[in-house]
Each structure stands twice: as structure tokens, then as C-alpha cells.
Amino acid sequence: MAARVENLAAAVARALAGIGPIERDLDAADAQLGDGDTGGMIARVIGRMAATDLSEDRDMGVALTKLAKAAAAATGSSLGTLVATGFLTVGKAVKGREEVPWGEWGPLLATARDAMAARGGAALGDKTVLDGLDAVAEAIGAQDTREAVAAAALSAGRRSLVNFRDRPCRMGRARLHAERSVGRDDPGMLALVLLMEASLSPEAPAA
Amino acid sequence: MAARVENLAAAVARALAGIGPIERDLDAADAQLGDGDTGGMIARVIGRMAATDLSEDRDMGVALTKLAKAAAAATGSSLGTLVATGFLTVGKAVKGREEVPWGEWGPLLATARDAMAARGGAALGDKTVLDGLDAVAEAIGAQDTREAVAAAALSAGRRSLVNFRDRPCRMGRARLHAERSVGRDDPGMLALVLLMEASLSPEAPAA
Amino acid sequence: MKKLMNKAEDYVDEMLDGLILVHPSLVRDGESGRVIRRSAGARQGKVGIASGGGSGHLPLFTGYVGPGLLDTCAIGNVFEGPTVNSCLEAIRLADGGRGVLRLYGNYGGDRMNFDMAGDLLEDEGIVTTTVLGNDDIASGDASERDKRRGVAGLIYAYKLAGASAEAGADLETVTRVAAKAVAATRSIGLALSPCQVPTAAHPTFTLGEGEVEMGMGIHGERGLWRDGMKPADALVEEMIGRLLADRPEGAGERVSILVNSLGATPLEELFILYRRAAALLAEAGLSVVMPLVGPFATSMEMAGASISLCFLDDELAGLLATPADCPFWKVG
Amino acid sequence: MKKLMNKAEDYVDEMLDGLILVHPSLVRDGESGRVIRRSAGARQGKVGIASGGGSGHLPLFTGYVGPGLLDTCAIGNVFEGPTVNSCLEAIRLADGGRGVLRLYGNYGGDRMNFDMAGDLLEDEGIVTTTVLGNDDIASGDASERDKRRGVAGLIYAYKLAGASAEAGADLETVTRVAAKAVAATRSIGLALSPCQVPTAAHPTFTLGEGEVEMGMGIHGERGLWRDGMKPADALVEEMIGRLLADRPEGAGERVSILVNSLGATPLEELFILYRRAAALLAEAGLSVVMPLVGPFATSMEMAGASISLCFLDDELAGLLATPADCPFWKVG
Ligand SMILES: Nc1ncnc2c1ncn2[C@@H]1O[C@H](COP(=O)(O)OP(=O)(O)O)[C@@H](O)[C@H]1O
Ligand SMILES: Nc1ncnc2c1ncn2[C@@H]1O[C@H](COP(=O)(O)OP(=O)(O)O)[C@@H](O)[C@H]1O
Ligand SMILES: [Mg+2]
Ligand SMILES: [Mg+2]
Ligand SMILES: [Mg+2]
Ligand SMILES: [Mg+2]
């Protein structure tokens, strides 16, 4: 079983459908120590991605690159730019393919993670979206069905939130308030988990 | 019996002692339709008057002129300037005299009222400080003891508030809101009454 | 409401101290230091222009002293007219031997004190004239224009009369130009949140979290209506509509527009307002000359904005374009 | 919190529409109209200076495009970096054939997007350099200056590098001057009340009625401490004390100071702050050159102020004094 452009489009559509409460929660999380805009920004990114017409696309690389460009056109914020970087990286890696087996997504997310680290300068352990992504990439490595990937990704993402909650933040706007960040979720990591919750809900098995 | 510079100084001192709650009440009254500064301004005027040294003065005209100048130096507000005008007018009228019998104060206040009307352009009936002053001037006309003057002035002032409360204002900042001014005291008229209440309280009879 | 200040009583004097330190083209003068004049002093042979008003409106009134604008300004306490003595000094210090125009906003206190100062100066041989700014259309019916308050639009009278005086015109001409500028100017403001007088215990008014007040004065005087907040375009449409309905008789098709912040409203939002205002003026067949957008006349930290229109004929358009220079407004 | 706007999503574009209508020296360019450039275009033979940043800080960043200052500015949404595409266009449009300095504030999003734009431009043959503003001393220890945020003090780098480029210096020199300007500049801000991002449901933070926060960032990032409101002089003393304690190594005795409003704080109160700041600098044996007081870098309607010091040597003092001209700042 493999992911195709339809799956991508459906996931984006589900994220859009669920964005309302996510937006508010993320703004609130970012407002604790940052500038309070993560939610509004993510909503804009998802909206722009959802407005991207993928109906004629079969090439996963093309589709992911289009979504990356939609993200990059929607914002220049740290997180949005990292999301665009991640999509672009995976898009390059799967260029020319119509199907990407679920078993490949672990390594693909690891590539995205590394490209995002290179772009943003954060290291694993800094308590950013990268740590969530790292846990997810690791956890889904061995899974080869959509359902298993979704379940593993979700539980790894949620676990990463718990694991990092009581650690200090070392990157981004909240870095200066490392002590105060203890006990609080990183907005980027939280965004990853909430969006996965919205977009990885069950769907009809792909063709 | 007559008013002397000591009476003047004592009245100012009593006004100063009682200014706290008056200041707040007047600010609140002016804030309804005006710019909310009547109290702060009156407090500054009284403060400046009280800081004026009248201890060497025996000439009522000189003392009143000094108080007028103190008011004029403290503010350029409408009401403050009218107060200065009133003091200046009475000061001119009693120049060279050490005593001004209580029986003369009705006509003196009437002169002040007319000078203030000429300076500010308001007419009687416009619901301003002038209407309060007019009522007071009228009421004390026949009295010739300090106690009788004080009692007549106070009750005339209070009555003027009641008489004008339900009439529309036709001058000053509240003029535009004639309908909304109905049911509300004019801040200038209220200032006159509250200051009389503070400064006309019983004192040892003058020499 | 919090203010960056020390003792409330020192607000105005400490502000003036800072102002003249930063802007050496301005000098404090007068017995109590409540007159701002050009550092070069009155120019002999030029008609002088003296203004005055309460504090709390920077750049108005004090900030407009400079070549092509005012010669002197008498400064009152926050939201109070200047004292008679300051008015008197401002007139004297503006005198360059050809008379002085007293040009200020139509407020009771200011008027009484400038009038008294005029009376006192009669025997000094300084000839004075008076023109009062009355641009605020929300402060009185068109039928009693002379009772209206002066707000941000006063800067047009400063600029136009200032240009006339700088060019060497006589007192009669400068006075005529100032009166013409006032007659050609209309303003209206709206408030979103109050300001607070430094010595006061409370803000000057309260406005609900979702409310806007149309027509509010620059001291918090009540306006025309208070209602739920509306989109910027709708507010601008009402403001421009009211201004054009009150257009001076015989007004031509050239107009200068000032979109002014009352304090807390950011530049971003003034530009959003201007965008719609410009479109409406174009629809009305008017052509915009020298649009001005920024904080020109404020009410300390009040949130809100005002729009002023100054209808120009050839004479006024020419005078508007001539160079002028003060710390907060430079033309040419 | 109320904003004079229409749809929140249109805040930035409508603002830019108004901006260029009022100031024809500025032109919108780029695929999504998110680059502001000089209307005359890049001058051939001059080193270009491209900046960029989030919206909501006018006059920063966008407002400083003009002779002696920036050539172009890429504009992000409110409090967000500009997109990679806008950064790319801003660099291209600043190019006059002698290379382009990318000069902007040290924020994650801005940096990533300008970096990506640089990567993408490598094969177009435009030589670029980068200097990041990092003047906010409240945003990191002195030991890690390169992690500090850029705030109002960035305008000194604009002015000094802009003067160098305008005088014909090469890219290496302009870059050196910009880096020197950044190294010579320190800022600190304080907030009295929050602002609100147009798309957000709530203000960016809450601050008690009687509270002040020292060291807050221009997006509402938490500061050094939060406490009861203090007199202006006490706040200035702490700010100047912190700035001087962080004085760059080898700093001389000449300094320019910028007392900046974050938005709602009125000019009156900036002058009150300046008064005390000037006295403290004099006490410290420093002489003030070209003091700047006003709204130079804001956070929309946030109440508060920042103070920046730029320590000058002969080279920087000379460059600071040369003419510069943009809609919000004119020198010479
Ligand atoms: N340099 C970085 N590397 C990795 N993640 C980052 C970096 N900077 C920010 N983030 C992530 O982005 C989140 C903040 O996103 P957002 O609010 O959109 O950015 P901004 O700080 O530009 O407002 C942080 O919680 C963090 O997870
Ligand atoms: N032209 C006038 N003639 C008579 N009384 C006036 C006039 N203008 C104002 N007042 C009086 O002054 C009061 C307001 O005083 P104050 O708040 O000090 O003045 P301002 O309007 O300058 O703020 C009014 O309530 C009214 O009684
Ligand atoms: Mg953020
Ligand atoms: Mg009043
Ligand atoms: Mg007043
Ligand atoms: Mg942000």
C-alpha cells in the first residue's frame, strides 16, 4: 500500500476542516513566550495548501512541491518556512513517482527533518517542531500500511509533547525564557500533533 | 459687620482643606459631556490661591486682585479664566477699602456675573456657572451678617442646581448635547456650590 | 491607563524641556516658560503669527513653530487654554513690527485668554487680529459654524497663513488668508479608546470593547453617535460623506486631505483609511493635492483618527506648496 | 482591542495601497506586491541595500526606502517574515550591478527566507552580503550578541550603510559599515500595554492595569521583568544604565540616541523620557549627536517606548550627518 496524490489532497482537506480550534490553541501556546501568531499563520498555510489544485497531478513530487510553494507564498514565519522546506525536501526525493509506499515515509520524514535543521539552525533536543518530527520519523519507520503509519505517527507525536513538556526550550523566540518554557508545549511541536490529529483520521483506504 | 482680608484668606484655606472629594466630583461631572478636567483645574486654582500670601495685605482690592492673578496664572481653562475675571472685577470695585460690609456683596457678585458674561459670551439661562452666581447674588442682596449671607448663598446655590438640572445646557463643551445635559448638573455651577459648601462653613465672627 | 511621566503637575514643563533639547530650532520663553518661539526670534518686517492651546496634542500646537508656519505658541496645561500671561507673551514675541495674527482653535478658555491679552496689549501699540479654527463639523450645525471647535484642520490655517506672512504679506492679507483657510477646511474624528489627563484619576471617557464613537472631540467631548465597531471602509465612507455634505460654498475640485491619528492608532491603519478616502474623493470628482497621513494633532494616547479636507483655490494651493519647516512637518 | 481595518487578511495589502498613494517616492513591486522600492528604481553603479521584515512596525521597515537609506524592502504579514519570493524580488530590485547588502533584523523567519533567496540567486550573478540587526540587549546575554533580536536601532544601520552606498562605496565597504553600525548600537524597550495582530482573537499579551514590562520585544516577546508602574525617570535610569553597561568595547564619547514610541505612547511622554536620558548621558561624559525622538519603529498600538544608543566614531558620525530622505525621516 502506498500514498498517492489523492491521499495528500485528502489529508490537507481534513486539516482545513479541523483548523478552527487548532488555530486558537496554537495562538495561545505561542502567546505564552513568543509572539502569539503560530495558529493564524498555520491556518493561512493550510488554507493556501487546500486552495492548491492537485486534481490533475499524479506525480507525488510535483504535488508536494506545489504544497511547499503554497506554504512559502503564504508566510515568511519561522515555522511556515520550515514547513515549506520540509515539503520541498520530500517533494524532491519522490519526484517522478505516483506512489510512495507507506514504508518509505519514515526515512523521507527524516530527510525533511535534516533539511529543516540545516535551514533553521536548530539541533535535536532544542524543543522545536524538529523533535516532534524526529519522533514521528523514527516511529513510523517499520510500518507499511496507512493505518499503522497514522497510529504510530500520532502516538509518537503525542509522546514527544509529553517527553519535552518539562524540558527547557533552546531555540526560537521562547529560547530566552528557557526556565519559563518548562511545563509548556512548544507551539511548533504542538502544531505538528494537532495537524496530524486532524489529517490522519481514518479515510477510505487508498486505491 | 464686614468682610476683611482675613475672611478671604480663611475662606480660601477652607476651600483648600475640602478640595479632595470636590475635585473628583467635578471631574466626573465634566466627563459626562465635557473634557473631564473641571475638578483638577479647580484644585489647581484653589491651591495657587491658597499659596498666595495675603498676610500683609489689608486692602480688599489688592487681595482680590492677587487671588485673581493666582487663578489666571494657574489655568487658561474656561471656568478658571471666568473665576479670575470675577475676582478681578470685584477687586477693582473695592480697591482701597479694608472692609466690605456683607450687605454690599450681592451687588458686587452681580458685577462679577456681568463681567464674566461679557468675557465668556454666555447669557443667563444657558446653564453655566453664571446662573449659579446670579442666584447667589440675588439671594444675598438683603443680608448683612456673614452668617445670613452664607446661609442665603448656600441655599440659593443649591436651589439653582435643582432649578437647572432638568434644563438643557446652551454654552461650553456640553452645549452640543443639550438633550443629554438634561438631568445633569452643570460642572461650573456644581463647582460654585461645592466650593461654597467648603468655604462658607461657620467661622469665628470677623472683628 | 498608564503614563510615562513623573509628577503629573510636571508633565507639561518636562515635556517642553525635552522638546527644546531635541529641537534647538525651538526655544522656551516667557515668565513661566510657557511660550515656544523660533530660536531666531521674530523676524523684523514680517507679520507675526501667534498661536496657543492646551497641551496633550503634539505636534499641535507647539510643534508647528518654524519658518513658513507659526512664530510663537502659548502653551496651556493638558487640555486647558494657555494663561492670559502666556498669550500676552506669545503675541509680544511674535511681533516683528507689522502686527500679529492670533490664530488658534475655537475653545472658550483659549478665546477668553487671547482676548484678555489683546485688551492688555492695546496700549503697547501692537496691532493684532484674530482668526479661530473651527473645522470640526461634529461640533455644531453648519448654520453656526463659528461655534464649532478647531481640531486637526487648524494646521492648514497655520501653513497657509504662515506662507503668506513669510512671503511678506501685510497683516490684513495674512488675516484674510487665515480666515479663508479656516473657511475652506472641514474635519471629523472618531475615537476607539480614551486618553487620560495626567492629573486625572480616570480616563476622560469609557467606550465599550466593541464600540466606536463618531465625531468625538480631541479632548474626549462627546460625538455624534456611539455604536458597535464597523469596518474601516464603512467609517471612512461616513466621514467623507459628512465632510462633503458640509463642503464650503463655491468649493472647487482641488482638495488637500489630512488623515490624522489621534494617538494610539498606528500608521498602518491610517493608510488603510486613506486608501478608501482617496477613492471616494476621486469618485466625487475631486483631485487630491498634498495628502497628509500621520499624527498631526493628537489627544495623547487616544485611539482613533480624524479626516480633514481643505478645499483649495489657486491662491491657497500656491501657499500650501511653499516651503515650511518645523520639527514635525517639512514642506518643500 | 479594536483596529481600523476591513478584512484582517487584507490589512497589509490595503496598508501598502495607502502608503504608495500618499508617498509616490515609493512603489509596490514583486509578484504579490510585497516589495517596496524607490520609484526611480535601483541606481546603476550603486551598491543596493535590501531589507525586509514583518508588517506592523511602521515606519520600520518599509518606510525607510529612499535616497541615503534603503533601496528595497520585502514585506511580510504582520509580525511574520517576508516570503522567500519577496526576499528574492527585493534583492533583485535593489541590484544596481555592484552587489546587494541584505540588511534586516535577526529573526528566524526573516533569516531563513533571505538565506533561501540568496541560495536561489546564486546563479543569477548577483553578489550579496548579509548583516543582521541585533541591538535588543534584552534578548540575549552580551556573550551571545548574534542571537539578539533587531529592534528600533536598526535604523542606524540603514542610515549609515545607506550613506556609505550613496557615496559610492563598494559592497565590502557598505557591508563593513553596516556591521560596524550594528556593533555600535544597543536598544532596550518597555511595554505598558499590548498590541493585537489583525487576525488574532486576542491581544498578544496581557499586562495588569498598573504594570510595566521591561525589555519586551517588538512582537510582544517576554522581557526581563514585569512589575508595578514606576516614574518615568526611574525607568529611563534603568534603561540607560543597562545600555551603558552593555556599551561596545572601545566606544568613544559621541553617541546618537533614539527615544522611540512603540505606538500608543504619545510624543509628550517621549520628550519627558528624553529629558532624563540626556541628563544621564551628560553625567556619563557622553555627548549627544542628532537625537531622534518619535515613532521610528512601532508595534502597532502597543504602548511603551524604546531607547537606542549608537556609539559613533568619526566615520559613523560623518555618515550619520549626510542627507537622507524617506517619507518618515529626513536628514539634512
Ligand atoms: N530555527 C528553528 N528551528 C526549528 N524550529 C523552529 C525554529 N524557529 C522556530 N521554530 C518552531 O516554530 C515555532 C514558532 O513558530 P511561529 O510562531 O510561526 O514562528 P515565529 O517565531 O516566526 O512567530 C516554534 O515553536 C518552533 O517549534
Ligand atoms: N463661555 C462660558 N460662559 C460661562 N460659563 C462657562 C463658559 N464656558 C464654560 N463655562 C463654565 O465652565 C464649566 C466648564 O469648566 P472647565 O471644565 O474648566 O472648562 P473647559 O471647558 O475649558 O474644560 C462649565 O460647566 C460652565 O459652567
Ligand atoms: Mg510566533
Ligand atoms: Mg472641562
Ligand atoms: Mg478643559
Ligand atoms: Mg511571528
**Residue in C113, C140, C200 nearest the CB of B76:** C113
Rounded CA-CA distance A91/A60 in Å is 7
What is the CATH topology of the domain spanning C12-183? Rossmann fold (3.40.50)
Q: Is residue A78 in contact with ligand 1, taking CB distance under 6 Å? A: yes
Cell of B183: 438631568
Residue of D nearest to C8 (CA): D231
Mutate to test the pocket of ligand 2, among B128, B131, B190 (most ligand atoms within 8 A of CB): B128
Residue C247 DSSP code: P
For the cut 90, the answer to whether the pLDDT of residue B205 exceeds it is: no
In A27-52, which positions are buried (b, 16+ CB within 10 angstroms) versus exposed (e)?
A: bbbbbbbbbbbbbbbbbbbbbbbbeb
**Residue in D76, D85, D200 nearest the CB of A27:** D200
Question: What 3-state DSSP class applies to C116?
Answer: helix
Per-residue pLDDT for chain C (332 aa), expressed as one digit of tens each? 899 999 999 999 999 999 999 999 999 999 999 999 999 999 999 999 999 999 999 999 999 999 999 999 999 999 999 999 999 999 999 999 999 999 999 999 999 999 999 988 888 889 999 999 999 999 999 998 999 999 999 999 999 999 999 999 999 999 999 999 999 999 999 999 999 999 888 898 999 999 999 999 999 988 999 999 999 999 999 999 999 999 999 999 999 999 999 999 999 999 999 999 999 999 999 999 999 999 999 999 999 999 999 999 999 999 999 999 999 999 99
Q: What is the DSSP string of B151-179?
A: HHHHHHHHHHHHHHHTS---SSGGGGGHH
| Mean residue pLDDT across chain D | 97
Between the CA of C304 and the centroid of ligand 6 the distance, in Å, is 26
Contact, D262 vs D303, CB < 8 A?
A: yes
In a domain, A205, yes or no: no
Rounded CA-CA distance A52/D270 in Å is 48
Q: What is the pLDDT of residue A22?
A: 95
Rounded CA-CA distance D248/B118 in Å is 65
- Of the candidates C154, C219, C259, C296, the residue annotated as catalytic is C219
Q: For residue D242, which phi and psi values (nearest 5 degrees)?
A: -65, -40
Closest CA to D113 of A82, A40, A35, A131: A82
| Positions of CATH 3.30.1180.20 in chain C | 185-331
Rounded CA-CA distance A84/A82 in Å is 5
Rounded CA-CA distance C182/C129 in Å is 15
Whether D329 has its CB under 8 Å from any CB of chain A: the answer is no
In a domain, B205, yes or no: no
DSSP H stretches of helix in chain D: 11-22, 84-94, 108-121, 154-166, 171-183, 232-245, 267-283, 314-321
Q: What is the pLDDT of residue C195?
A: 95
Cell of D146: 548574534
Residue D266 DSSP code: -
- Where do the DSSP E strands lie in C137-197? 185-193
Q: What is the pLDDT of residue B142?
A: 78
Contact, B175 vs B192, CB < 8 A?
A: no
What is the CATH topology of the domain spanning C185-331? Hypothetical Protein Tm841; Chain: A;domain 3 (3.30.1180)
Q: Which of residues 179-198 of D touch C (CB under 8 A)?
A: 192-193
For the cut 90, the answer to whether the pLDDT of residue A98 exceeds it is: yes
Contact, C78 vs C12, CB < 8 A?
A: yes
**Confidence band, pLDDT 50/70/90 cuts, at residue A203:** low
For the cut 70, the answer to whether the pLDDT of residue A207 exceeds it is: no
Set of chain C residues whose Cβ sits within 8 Å of the Cβ of D235: 4
| Mean residue pLDDT across chain B | 93
Largest CA distance in chain D: 56
Peptide bond into C231 cis (omega under 30): no
Q: Picking from A55-64, A173-182, B62-71, D23-32, which range would have the lowest pLDDT averaged per residue?
A: A173-182
Peptide bond into C61 cis (omega under 30): yes
Order of strands, edge to edge, in the sheet holding C72-78?
C26-29, C35-38, C72-78, C48-55, C100-105, C128-133
Distances (CA, A) of C203 to B35, B37, C170, C285, D232: 10, 11, 44, 41, 19
Residue of D nearest to A34 (CA): D221
In A148-176, which positions are buried (b, 16+ CB within 10 angstroms) versus exposed (e)?
A: ebbebbbebbeebbeebeebbbebbbbbb
For the cut 60, the answer to whether the pLDDT of residue B78 exceeds it is: yes
Contact, C329 vs C59, CB < 8 A?
A: yes
Q: Hey, are the CB atoms on B36 and C200 less than 8 Å from each other? A: yes
In D244-263, which positions are buried (b, 16+ CB within 10 angstroms) versus exposed (e)?
A: bebbbeebeebbbbbbbbbb
For the cut 80, the answer to whether the pLDDT of residue A86 exceeds it is: yes
Instruction: For residue B201, count other CB atoms closer than 10 A to its CB.
Output: 13
Set of chain D residues whose Cβ sits within 8 Å of the Cβ of C267: 58-59, 63, 295, 298
In a domain, B141, yes or no: yes
Closest CA to B45 of B16, B74, B66: B74
Q: Which residues contact D214 (CB under 8 A, 6 or more apart)?
A: D138, D188, D190, D223, D224, D225, D226, D227, D235, D238, D239
- What are D162-213's pLDDT values in tens digits? 999 999 999 999 999 999 999 999 999 999 999 999 988 889 899 999 999 9
Residue of A nearest to D78 (CA): A37
Contact, D246 vs D279, CB < 8 A?
A: no
Instruction: For residue D68, count other CB atoms closer than 10 A to its CB.
Output: 23
Whether C79 has its CB under 8 Å from any CB of chain B: the answer is yes
- What are D273-314's pLDDT values in tens digits? 999 999 999 999 999 999 999 999 999 999 999 999 999 999
Q: What is the pLDDT of residue A206?
A: 41
Given the DSSP bridges, would you call strands D292-294 and D128-133 parallel, antiparallel or unpaired? Answer: unpaired
Rounded CA-CA distance C220/C195 in Å is 8
Given the DSSP bridges, would you call strands D128-133 and D100-105 parallel, antiparallel or unpaired? Answer: parallel
Q: Percent helix, strand, coil in chain D (nearest 5)?
A: 35, 25, 40
Q: Which residues contact B55 (CB under 8 A, 6 or more apart)?
A: B9
* Residue indicated by cell numbers 486532524: A198
Set of chain C residues whose Cβ sits within 8 Å of the Cβ of D301: 264-266, 303
Best of A78, A87, A129 to substitute, by most chain D Cβ atoms within 10 angstroms, is: A78
Q: Which range of residues forms the domain containing residue B57?
A: 2-200
Rounded CA-CA distance B45/B26 in Å is 14
Rounded CA-CA distance B1/C107 in Å is 42
Rounded CA-CA distance A153/A138 in Å is 9
Rounded CA-CA distance D7/A38 in Å is 19
Q: Is residue A166 in contact with ligand 1, taking CB distance under 6 Å? A: no
Mean pLDDT confidence for D126-141: 96
Between the CA of C155 and the centroid of ligand 2 the distance, in Å, is 25
Rounded CA-CA distance C100/C93 in Å is 9
Peptide bond into D59 cis (omega under 30): yes
Q: What is the pLDDT of residue B203?
A: 61
Contact, C99 vs C129, CB < 8 A?
A: yes
Question: Which H/E stretch holds residue A85?
Answer: helix A78-93
Contact, B113 vs B85, CB < 8 A?
A: no
Number of domains in chain A: 1
Distance of CA D98 to the CA centre of its chain: 24
CA distance D305 to chain A (A): 18
- Where do the DSSP E strands lie in A35-165? 100-101
Between the CA of B45 and the centroid of ligand 1 the distance, in Å, is 58
| Chains contacting D (3+ CB pairs below 8 angstroms) | A, C
Q: What is the pLDDT of residue B111?
A: 98
| Positions of CATH 3.40.50.10440 in chain C | 12-183
**Residue in D21, D58, D270 nearest the CB of C266:** D58
Best of C199, C267, C292, C296 to substitute, by most chain D Cβ atoms within 10 angstroms, is: C267
Rounded CA-CA distance A33/C155 in Å is 43
Mean pLDDT confidence for B39-54: 96
In angstroms, the first-to-last Cα distance of chain B is 8
Chain B, chain C: beta-carbon pairs less than 8 Å apart: 106
Q: What is the pLDDT of residue A142?
A: 78
For the cut 50, the answer to whether the pLDDT of residue A205 exceeds it is: no
Q: Is residue A83 in contact with ligand 1, taking CB distance under 6 Å? A: no
Q: Which of residues 54-83 of D touch C (CB under 8 A)?
A: 55-56, 58-59, 63
Q: Picking from A12-16, D80-84, D113-117, D139-143, which range would have the lowest pLDDT averaged per residue?
A: D139-143
Distances (CA, A) of C51 to A197, C37, C76, C263: 66, 10, 11, 22
CB-count exposure of residue B69 (10 Å: 0-12, 13-18, 19+): buried
In a domain, A207, yes or no: no
Whether D303 has its CB under 8 Å from any CB of chain C: the answer is yes
- Where do the DSSP E strands lie in B66-185? 100-101
Rounded CA-CA distance C180/C163 in Å is 13
Q: Is residue A115 in contact with ligand 1, taking CB distance under 6 Å? A: no
Q: Is residue A85 in contact with ligand 1, taking CB distance under 6 Å? A: no
Whether D300 has its CB under 8 Å from any CB of chain C: the answer is yes
Closest CA to A94 of A62, A140, A54: A62
| Chains contacting A (3+ CB pairs below 8 angstroms) | D
In a domain, B21, yes or no: yes
Given the DSSP bridges, would you call strands D72-78 and D48-55 parallel, antiparallel or unpaired? Answer: parallel
Cell of C317: 494651493
Best of C9, C11, C77 to substitute, by most chain B Cβ atoms within 10 angstroms, is: C77
Mean pLDDT confidence for B33-41: 87
| Chains contacting B (3+ CB pairs below 8 angstroms) | C
Chains D and C touch (3+ CB pairs under 8 A): yes
Given the DSSP bridges, would you call strands D185-193 and D303-312 parallel, antiparallel or unpaired? Answer: antiparallel
Q: Which residues contact C218 (CB under 8 A, 6 or more apart)?
A: C57, C149, C151, C152, C189, C262, C297, C298, C299, C302, C306
Rounded CA-CA distance C146/C160 in Å is 20
Between the CA of A37 and the centroid of ligand 1 the distance, in Å, is 10
- CATH number of the domain that residue B127 is part of: 1.25.40.340
Q: What is the pLDDT of residue D233?
A: 98
Whether D79 has its CB under 8 Å from any CB of chain A: the answer is yes
Whether B82 has its CB under 8 Å from any CB of chain C: the answer is yes
In a domain, A48, yes or no: yes
Q: For residue D222, which phi and psi values (nearest 5 degrees)?
A: -55, 150
Whether D213 has its CB under 8 Å from any CB of chain A: the answer is no
Q: Whose CA is nearest to atom 9 of ligand 2?
A: B172
Set of chain C residues whose Cβ sits within 8 Å of the Cβ of B119: 112, 115-116
Whether C139 has its CB under 8 Å from any CB of chain B: the answer is yes
Catalytically active residues of D are 57, 219
